[in-house]
Structure 1
């Protein structure tokens, strides 16, 4: 989703890895297998881009609903194009689009 936002806007996206609401089990399995959780299909998630000044108010509204309890501010729109993740120690790395589905989808 971040790649689509970046391409459509002509801007870049920086995602803070530690703020992403990824289930700990999923994080652990991905780490063990050397996979990037951000490259998997994920039904039932919503990404919203709002002005920085409106972010906290939008987050509060989302979290006030039972289905929004895991809502989080996960990143920033930046001038530099592309999508990057920011790790625990502030290290930025480019998040490339996967060349293929890392695992088959079961629908």
Structure 2
């Protein structure tokens, strides 16, 4: 069975396997010699064993790696290809404090920063918690979160902000961090 990035349906849950922005900020720090007061490490890691474990749980309808363009690009591509909207809860998106602070200092949106050791998962609602539990049992997925769901109320990615407002998460324009590969 193929897992595509175009199979999301209304009600499917969106899960991210861990903190976002780590890799892109680690690369930028190394390239530019930035010192943010803590060492931001790349999240690069093989995901094959993690993905196999999740496939054995079942209920996965879509998967995507949030590399170029980060989580923002992955979510927007999913929304467009699946022809559904996505409602994402900002408070649920796992971002390390030092990554968030570095992004704020540099004027970079952490949702647009590339990741190398993460996966974004679309899951049927009945299996989402079981998938989340399986993720949290692994080193790679210990910071996993259910961050939102697919909806037919709109055809774009909408972020429910920390203060309860809503904003459209547009696809990134360009890449905030120069590519190295």
TM-score normalised to structure 1 length: 0.90
The structure with the larger Rg is 2
Structure with higher RCO (Cα < 8 A, 6+ apart): 1
Uncovered stretches (5+) of structure 1, i.e. residues with no partner: none
Aligned-pair distance for 1:83? 0.8
Question: How many residues of Structure 1 are paired with residues of Structure 2 in the alignment?
Answer: 107
Choose the corresponding residue for 2:123, options 50, 58, 63.
50
TM-score normalised to structure 2 length: 0.55
Match of 2:179 in 1: 105
Give the aligned CA root-mean-square deviation in angstroms: 1.3
Match of 1:85 in 2: 159
Choose the corresponding residue for 1:23, options 96, 117, 129.
96
* Distance (whole Å) between structure 1 residues aligned to residue 151 and residue 103 of structure 2: 27
* Distance (whole Å) between structure 1 residues aligned to residue 172 and residue 81 of structure 2: 19
SS state of the match for residue 32, structure 1? helix
* Distance (whole Å) between structure 1 residues aligned to residue 145 and residue 100 of structure 2: 17
Uncovered stretches (5+) of structure 2, i.e. residues with no partner: 1-73
SS state of the match for residue 48, structure 1? strand
Choose the corresponding residue for 1:75, options 143, 148, 165.
148
Deviations for 1:44-68, whole angstroms, at most 9, x for unmatched residues? 1101111122111111111112221
